[in-house]
Each structure stands twice: as structure tokens, then as C-alpha cells.
Amino acid sequence: MRTGRLTSRWRWCGIRAAAIAVALLFTSVPHANELDAYAKALNEFKSILSQRRAQISSGQSLPNLPGQALYLARNKTIGAYKDLTDAQPGRIGRPNKFGIPPAYFDAANEPLLDEYVRLFGIMQAPPARAQNSATPFEDVVVLGTAIARAKGLDAASAEAAGRISLGMFFAETNGNQNIGNARSNRYKGSFQTGESEDRNGRSKWAAIRGKIAALDPAVIARDDKEQARVGNGDQRYNHWTAVRNGLMNAHADVFVHIPAILKRFPDPIDQMKIFELIQIVPSPTRAALRSGDLASYRVSDAKIMGYLRNNSMFTFGRADRAKTSANYREILDAMWLFNEKFERAQAKFDEIKMQRRR
């Protein structure tokens, strides 16, 4: 009987050991797959960075939309790393200088993103005909503030409009005036507008110009100068007119919501994000603002979710990509890739305010 009991115990232990082995097999294989997927994505990102650098350095012609492959490779790398850290949280490392959540990005790869930014700077360089401003940041603040005042906002809300406008400039161009677009043949200039958007903004500016002249003649004097300067050229490549038309096209009519936004969303970064969403998904964002409860307003249209993913929201890793809907609070939180740009915009705005007080 004793032998039988021992045999039974050992048999149970053997079954248990086999079960553990099978469990380990099925848990380690996905981890190995995720590690392989990340290694592959990282190598592909390095490869396309090297390829573009070599093409530029040797003077080769670049493909149409030369930034798209870089953008997709970057996103694939971030997404693969998020899948890896979801499976193995112990791999989450130190913070990185880009402010990307450490679960999405290995800080050891910061030099790759530095090169990514440098390459985009080259590929999106302004054309020779571009007309720069000596005061690009101040111009954005001045125009945003003047438009808001003409829309009837009080001084505090108009100041917020200027600050938010500067955030849009950083979000769209990383704070660089008159740039092209390495991912689109449509959107160009300091506010990344298409030709139809630019024309629409121009028309709206003409309608409000008289009010602005009464409130701030200096703005109109500058506008006359820039209009004469650009002549019949593409107004998207004159910094002043590009910002003016871009703000009038997409944002001016929404400035009326700023007092409510400031009250409901006290975080300046959230305020900028809301207006960036006007740029990315205007119709649902306007509807969300009209609803009176923007944070809870839910988006479930697959096309809109696609636009969000194309602008670096809900696109990194399987868990993010599985989302089929999101409310605006979730969308704002998913815009972490914009945080660093908006923080720089806020710092620049504070600097401009300080200079004005001197």
C-alpha cells in the first residue's frame, strides 16, 4: 500500500510537472514572438533611417512622400515595444527625453528619434520661394489674439486663444515656418493647409478684417505689408498669411467655446489638444463641443477612428489598435505624442509674455 501511495504521488507530480511545462511553453512562445516582432520592427526602422540618410547625402531623388515609410516604421517600432512590455512589464525602462510613456519606447533608442526628426527637417524644408517672418512665434500669438477679440472674446480668453494658436503651430510644424510635408502632397506651410482650406480662410479673413482694423490697426498694417509681399503667390508659403488663413479656416469659429473650455479643462495642454482635434477630426470635435460634455462624447465611427490612428492615437500596440470607440477624455489622454510639442509652445508663449512686460 505504501508503494502504491508513493507511485500515485509521483504520478500526480509527473502530471503537474507536465502541465507546468505546457503552460510555460504556451506563455513563453508569445513572449518570444513579441520579442522577435520588436527586434524586426526596430531593425526595419534603423534600415529606413539609414536608407533616407544615404539618399539625401548622395543627392539621390527621394520617392514620393518620402516621410511616410519613416513614419510607419517609427509607429511599428513603438507599437511592437508596447506589445512586448504588455507581455513583459519588467522590460519597461527609464523615462525618455521625448516624453513618450516608457511602456511604449525604450529610452536607449532616443538617437533614432533624433535622426528621425533631423531627416524630416531636411525632407520638409521650405521651398526657395517661401517668405519667412523674423518673428514667427509672435505672429501666431498676435493673429490668434486679434481674431479672438474680433469674435467678441474678453481679454483673458483672447490671450488664451493666442496661446492655443501657438500650440497649433507647434503641433502642425514642430514650430518651423513655411515647411512642406513629407507625408502629404496636399498640406503645406506654417499651418499645414490644403489649397481649398487656405482659400476658405482667406475669405473668412476678408469678412472679419474690418472688425480687426477697429480693434488693432497695427495688425492690419502688418497684414497689408504681407499681402503686398506675397502678391499672387501661394499664401501658404508666406508665414503670416498661412497662419492667418489657417486659423480662420479651422479655428476662429471655435474660439467662442474657449471660455467654457478653460473652465472645464484647466490644463493648458488639454486646451491645445482640443483645438488640434479641430484640425484632425473637425466634425466630431465640433459636435462634442456643442454637446456640453466634451469629455464624455464618444466617437465610434471607423473612419474617424482611422483618422485618429493616422495621427498617432490608438495606433501603438494590439491593445490600442483593438479599440473601436473612445470618448474625448480617452482621446485627449491618447495624444501623449503631442505633449512635448505643446509644452514647448507653452514655454515659448510664457517667454513672449515676459518680453512684452519689459
Pair (215, 301) in one structural domain? yes
The pLDDT, as a whole number, for residue 326 is 98
Q: Are residues 235 and 291 in the same domain?
A: yes
* 1 inside domain: no
- Locate 96 and state its grid cell: 525618455
Bridge-based pairing state of the strands 298-299 and 326-327:
antiparallel
Same domain (yes/no): 140, 289? yes
pLDDT, one tens digit per residue, over 22-70 is 444 444 455 679 999 999 999 999 999 999 999 999 999 999 999 999 9
Q: Does 118 share its domain with 149? A: no
Does a structural domain hold residue 251?
Answer: yes
CB atoms within 10 A of CB 230: 19
Which of 123, 155, 178 is the C-terminal boundary of a domain?
123
Of 69, 96, 123, the domain-final residue: 123
* Claim to verify: residue 113 and residue 186 sit in the same structural domain: no
- The pLDDT of residue 2 is 34
Closest CA to 320 of 80, 71, 29: 80
Q: Are residues 160 and 287 in the same domain?
A: yes
Same structural domain, 199 and 52: no
CA angle 234, 229, 134 (to 5 degrees): 95
* 68, 75, 160, 258 from 266: Cα distances, Å: 35, 30, 11, 11
pLDDT, residue 358, reads: 79
Low-confidence ranges of the chain (pLDDT < 70): 1-31
Task: Let me know whether 188 and 118 are in one domain.
Answer: no
Is residue 117 located within the same domain as residue 143? no
Could you tell me which of 203, 71, 48 has the C-alpha nearest to residue 124? Answer: 71
Note whether residue 51 is domain-resident.
Answer: yes
pTM: 0.88
Residue 154 and residue 105 in one domain: no
Task: Give a yes or no: residue 131 inside a domain.
Answer: no
Question: Which residue range is the domain that position 344 belongs to?
Answer: 136-357
Last residue of one domain, picked from the residues 123, 158, 189: 123
340 and 230, same structural domain? Answer: yes
**How many independent structural domains does the chain possess?**
2
Does 128 fall in a domain? no
**Residue 222 shares a structural domain with residue 334:** yes
How many whole angstroms from its chain centre is CA 40?
Answer: 25
pLDDT in tens, 138-175: 999 999 999 999 999 999 999 999 999 999 999 999 99
pLDDT, position 14: 42
> What residues have CB less than 8 Å from 261, skipping those under 6 apart?
271, 274, 289, 294
The answer to whether position 4 is within a domain reads no
pLDDT of residue 351: 97
- Helix axes 110-123 and 66-87, enclosed angle (nearest 10): 160
